Amino acid sequence: MERQRLIETDFLIVGGGPAGCIAAIRAKEINPDIRVTVVEKAEISRSGSAGRGMDALNNVVIPGVSTVDEYVEAVSIIADGVIDPAISRVIGERSFGILKRLEQWGLSFPRDEKGGYIVNQFHPKGRFLVEIRGDMKKIIARETLSLGAEIYNRHVVLDLIKDGPRIAGAIAFDLSDGSLKTFVAPAVLLAAGGAARIGLNSTGYLHGTFDCPWCNGEAYRLGYEAGARLTGFDYTGIAMMIKDFNCPGLSTFIRHGAWLVNGLGERFMERYDPVRMEHAPGGVRTKAMLEELKARRGPVAFSFSHLEGRTLDLIESGIYEAERPTVRQFLQRRCIDLRSQPLEVVFSEVYLCGGHGLTGMVADRWGETDVPGLFAAGDCLANPYGFLPGAMCMGEAVGERVVSKAYSRPDDNEVDERLAVLESAIARHRKGALNVPVREFEYKYRRLVNEYVAPPKSGSRLARFLKETDAMVKDQDDLPAPDPHGLIKVFEAKSGLFSARLAALASFFREESRFGLYHDRVDYPEKDDANWQTRVIVHRGPDGPVLEKERT
Amino acid sequence: MNLSIDLECCIGCGACAEYCPGHVIAMNEENHPYEKYPDDCWYCGVCQIECPADCIQMLFPYLVR
């Protein structure tokens, strides 16, 4: 296998989504001489879960509309009291600056007749949501390039390098020719997304997931192996999705006043959360939906027919133009007119995500993990329901920290050893002694997630998942990878299985029910604040994962 | 297959392959795009947005149609 020269940089960013790009921009703004390198699996103008676009900043603290304290309170309600408020506070403080930055770059945010931003409610309490118009990811990528960040598109980081306790760089795989590149850097930002392919989705296609399917827990695995602490794996998210397409629209529909109705036409949230109704936390909403289906009052759908024409115009322009234009084609194919017909929704697969949930690396208010020089931002950081603004706010904080702290150049004495291990692992996959296609392997662990990890959970089923997947852990290093693309799919599947097992372990550990459906334990049906209003932390111990409670 | 690619109007620029975030699309020896890894599609529509000649339409795979 061809080895290329060591590439030295001051700040290595793993993942060129919104978090990674804003980190690069901020570092270069403060110090144009700093060498910033972005390693991106796709192409940065269209990469990540926001690659096509996004129709709203869900959480911006607009002066005069809301306060940072109100924002932290709203997030705490969604997270059932189990958050580290420090990160949410940073997001609240920085979010308006991010909006102004995006506006300056050419994105627009609808305003009312008096010139103020139109701010909608999505959270259970408070108004923080501002709609976006414009092609966001292209604009952010353009700014990243204009400041001189060096971009390695179609490269995937497979391993991190350390120098004693501190970070020292990473080894990346070049998808174009299958070679390895080593980056030596005193500061590394992991911004490579959450884990989308955990449960098995109902569309019949493994990549037809709610969240971006090309991020499958690789950042969680890299951070864990480097020694970072992680949390939120007990928060196994499930979203309401447009049936068969498995495409979201929830935030758009709810903020504009759409109703959730059952097969009898009843607005069923009245039965479960009569005050907050559709604005109830996601786990409460999905649990209500499950109850309706169990009572044979399905199908469940969003109903729009009571809304005014101009509101429907806003919904359609948001989901068709700012987010995914393919929704329009899907609905046209199905002859579904939102103005007169309900839109059926189903459960998504289980996913793990920092921005749409609680799962990710634990970090300080600058995004730095317990490993000196290793940072996290975006969906791989525990930034509870930080959504898109959370990714960008924490990216900005990381960029500032990396420049101001001026990390010294690490020794790279681990490089040869790590390269040898990685080359040996890749050679083993090329041989592929297991002779089982990676898709079959992935289908199996995801089917097992649905059977044993997806809520409602029980200790016996969670233990069963771990037992059933022990053999898969042994098998995984012999999965065949006939070409560079196949190798990436193997690493994604291994990271997915790794993340699913952490989800089972953390869910087993939390002996109570919390987060609505998301951690509904049939063997511990009550919420137990006295013992469990804590985060569940997981980190790498000498004999495997170690789990701990951490009161926040 | 997820896409309808009209090769009559395709100008062979390769933008669809370059920007596809899932590496689903590749260019063949005749410089025409094709779905090399159709199972990896998210139906995001980046390919059709990036096509300067407007040759690509999302059809969706059969189970989603």
Tokens at A268, concatenated: 């069923």
A49/B contact by beta carbon, under 8 A: no
- Least CB-CB distance to A485: which of B37, B57, B58? B37
Chain A residue with CA closest to B40: the answer is A207
Q: Where are the domains of chain A?
A: 244-347, 415-527
A244/B contact by beta carbon, under 8 A: yes
Question: What would the pLDDT profile of A204-253 be if each residue is shown by its tens digit?
Answer: 999 999 999 999 999 999 999 999 999 999 999 999 999 998 887 778 89
Question: What would the pLDDT profile of A34-51 be if each residue is shown by its tens digit?
Answer: 999 999 999 999 998 888
Question: What would the pLDDT profile of A70-100 be if each residue is shown by its tens digit?
Answer: 999 999 999 999 998 999 999 999 999 999 9
- Least CB-CB distance to A51: which of B44, B57, B60? B44
Q: Which helix (H) or strand (E) element contains residue A301?
A: strand A301-303
Cβ within 8 Å of residue A507, ≥6 positions away? A233, A234, A236, A453, A457, A462, A519, A521
Q: Which residue from B35, B11, B10, B33 is spatially nearest to B24, judged by alpha carbons?
A: B35
Q: Which residue has the higher pLDDT, A442 or A318?
A: A442
| Residue tagged 């706010």 (tokens) | A393
Chain B residue with CA closest to A246: the answer is B64
Residue A323 confidence (pLDDT): 73
- CATH 3.90.600.10 for the B3-58 domain, yes or no: no
Residue A317 confidence (pLDDT): 83
Cβ–Cβ < 8 Å for A144, A21 = yes
Residue A181: C-alpha distances to residues A4, A410, A414, B37 (Å)? 5, 17, 14, 25
B35 min Cα distance to partner chain A (Å): 13
Which residue of B16, B39, B42, B48 to mutate against A (max A Cβ within 10 Å)?
B42
Residue A407 confidence (pLDDT): 80
Distance CA A172, CA A192 (A): 13
Residue A91: C-alpha distances to residues A58, A87, A149, A193, A230 (Å)? 12, 6, 24, 18, 19
* Contacts A–B by Cβ distance under 8 A: 86
B18 min Cα distance to partner chain A (Å): 7
Tokens at A210, concatenated: 């709610």
A52/B contact by beta carbon, under 8 A: yes
Which residue of A41, A43, A336 to mutate against B (max B Cβ within 10 Å)?
A43
Residues of chain B neighbouring A47 (CB-CB closer than 8 A): 21
Chain B residue with CA closest to A54: the answer is B44
Q: Chain B: which residues have CB within 8 Å of chain A?
A: 18-23, 36-37, 39-46, 48-50, 57-58, 60-61, 63-65
Q: What percent of chain A has pLDDT over 70?
A: 99
Residue A384: C-alpha distances to residues A74, A81, A495, A505, A535 (Å)? 11, 11, 21, 20, 12
| Residue tagged 């999905």 (tokens) | A286
Within 10 A of A166 (CB to CB), how many other CB atoms are there? 18
What does pLDDT average to over chain A? 94
Q: Do B45 and A485 touch (CB under 8 A)?
A: no
- Least CB-CB distance to A326: which of B36, B44, B65? B44
Tokens at A399, concatenated: 């960029």
pLDDT at A2 over 60: no
> Domain A244-347 adopts which CATH fold?
Flavocytochrome C3; Chain A, domain 1 (3.90.700)
Q: Which helix (H) or strand (E) element contains residue A88?
A: helix A85-105
Residues of chain A neighbouring B45 (CB-CB closer than 8 A): 52, 324-326
Q: How far is CA A180 from the centre of its chain?
A: 27
- Least CB-CB distance to B22: which of A204, A207, A245? A207
Residue A314 confidence (pLDDT): 85
E strand segments, A212-254: 230-231, 240-242
* Model ipTM value: 0.96
Residues of chain A neighbouring B61 (CB-CB closer than 8 A): 204-205
Tokens at A375, concatenated: 């940072």
Within 10 A of A236 (CB to CB), how many other CB atoms are there? 30
Chain A residue with CA closest to B64: the answer is A244
Query: What angle, 0 to 180 degrees and rounded to 10, lies between the N-to-C axes of helices A387-405 and A18-30?
Result: 30
Q: How far is CA A470 from the centre of its chain?
A: 26
A326/B contact by beta carbon, under 8 A: yes
A144 min Cα distance to partner chain B (Å): 17
Chain B residue with CA closest to A331: the answer is B65
Residues of chain B neighbouring A154 (CB-CB closer than 8 A): 23
Q: Do A325 and B18 touch (CB under 8 A)?
A: no
Q: Where are the domains of chain B?
A: 3-58
Within 10 A of A440 (CB to CB), how many other CB atoms are there? 11
Q: Residue A4: pLDDT band by 50, 70, 90 thresholds? A: low
Q: Do B21 and A204 touch (CB under 8 A)?
A: no
Residue A488 confidence (pLDDT): 97
pLDDT at A1 over 70: no
Chain B residue with CA closest to A334: the answer is B65
CATH architecture, domain A415-527: Up-down Bundle (1.20)
Question: What would the pLDDT profile of A185-208 be if each residue is shown by its tens digit?
Answer: 999 999 999 999 999 999 999 999
pTM: predicted TM-score of the whole model, two decimal places: 0.96
Cβ–Cβ < 8 Å for A350, A454 = yes
Q: Residue A3: pLDDT band by 50, 70, 90 thresholds? A: low
- Which 3 state secondary structure label does DSSP give B19? helix
Residue A237: C-alpha distances to residues A50, A232, A267, A449 (Å)? 19, 10, 23, 12
Cβ–Cβ < 8 Å for A51, A83 = no
Q: Do A213 and B43 touch (CB under 8 A)?
A: no
Q: Which residue from A300, A305, A298, A297 is spatially nearest to A341, judged by alpha carbons?
A: A305
Tokens at B58, concatenated: 């999302």
Question: What would the pLDDT profile of A446-498 be if each residue is shown by its tens digit?
Answer: 999 999 999 999 999 999 999 999 999 999 999 999 999 999 999 999 999 99
Question: What would the pLDDT profile of A366-416 be if each residue is shown by its tens digit?
Answer: 999 999 999 999 999 999 999 999 999 999 999 999 999 878 888 767 888
Residues of chain B neighbouring A42 (CB-CB closer than 8 A): 19-23
Q: Rounded mean pLDDT of A494-506?
A: 98
Chain B residue with CA closest to A486: the answer is B37
B4 min Cα distance to partner chain A (Å): 13
A366/B contact by beta carbon, under 8 A: no
Q: Do B23 and A485 touch (CB under 8 A)?
A: yes
Residues of chain A neighbouring B40 (CB-CB closer than 8 A): 207, 213-214, 489
**Angular region, A223: left φ>0, alpha ψ -120 to 50, beta rest:** alpha
A333/B contact by beta carbon, under 8 A: yes
Distance CA A302, CA A322 (A): 20
